[in-house]
Amino acid sequence: MFQSLIPSVIAFGVAALAIITAGSRLARLADELADRTGMGEALFGVLLLAGVTSLPDFAATLSAAIDARPDLAMSNVMGSMAANLAFLGIADMVYRKANLEHAAASSVNLMLAGLLIVLLTLPLLAITTPSIASWSVHPITPVIVVAYLFGMHLVHRTQSKPMWFPRMTRQTVPDQPSKQHHGSLAAAWSGFTALAAVTCLAGWVLMEAAKGIADQTGLSDTLVGGLLTALATSTPELVTTIAAIRYGALTLAVSNIFGTNCFNMLVVAAADVGYLQGPIYHDMAPVQMTWGLVSILMTAILLLGLVRRETYGIGRIGFESALILVVYVVAISTIVASG
């Protein structure tokens, strides 16, 4: 689509700006709709906001898979998941009243963290097992879809009938619906849908521009996907998370990140379906396993933080936030060094 470097860079910048702009407004509408529909911040963040903020990853990854560029496709989605988890560390730095994982205590977020670890192991198992395919699709792909749907069922049950509750402290910010809203419910849904469409279109343009940048600069698809497009397509998560914190919707902020990463596993499944040359897991570079393992490590660290609920850490940042940022920096350095 973009045959020269300058148009590719301009398109990349415009698409990224559109994602950032739409993402900041999505957070406000998501918080409002979570209250007005009665779904609550955690469930709305998992089922709807996470799906919308994943649209750039979905559009970008599927586009690369259909174009037979497995490294670009998988490094984008796997790199995005690691970036999203790092964004929780940044969000913890933004929220200065207490450790974010302490203030946003939720049984749903704990369930999501555990579900994400399970889902992340599935494509790694596909990479290490023999190449078995039916209609160019690996058997692990439908397993990912079923595991995601069953996980969402467990998340819904956890929300509606929780079996344990976090200890409430002065720093805990519960999800309390606001009764002051402007405009009709239909207008809020219309705005949410329109912003979702803009986000999806911008994600597709972003990946097309990234392909042009990779082709014109000679950078590998792994570097472009894992760093350039992964960070750009993850900007909705960062923007909506920071915006949600600003609006006081802390549970929405955390559930959005975990929910987005769980939804991104459906993006991985879609990439395998869209890649017609065979199972995508066996045609991508081995370095993609690094992103998967790093995401599992970061999720496990955050799970420890959610259970421990440290009130204050060094500089009012939780130990888990500091650790995941260190892990992410080391991962990026490793990926860059490996080319």
pLDDT tens for 20-64 read 788 777 777 887 887 787 777 777 778 788 888 788 788 878 888
Residue 303 has pLDDT above 60, yes or no: yes
Return the percent helix, strand and coil in the chain, to nearest 5: 75, 0, 25
Residues in contact with 281: Cβ distance below 8 Å, sequence separation at least 6, in sequence order = 123, 126, 127, 138, 140, 272
Backbone angles phi, psi at 204, to 5 degrees: -65, -45
pLDDT in tens, 124-157: 998 888 777 677 789 999 999 999 999 999 988 8
pLDDT in tens, 182-239: 678 888 889 888 988 887 788 778 767 877 777 787 777 777 777 777 777 777 788 8
Q: What is the DSSP string of 110-172?
A: HHHHHHHHHHHHHHHHHHHS----BTTB-THHHHHHHHHHHHHHHHHHHHHS-S--PPP-TT-
Q: What was the pLDDT predicted at 269?
A: 94
* Residue showing tokens 């209609």: 135
| All domains in the chain, ordered by first residue | 5-171+183-338 (1.20.1420.30)
* Residue showing tokens 């017609």: 276
DSSP 61: H
Task: Give the integer Cα–Cα distance in Å for 258 and 180.
Answer: 28
CB 73 within 8 A of CB 211: no
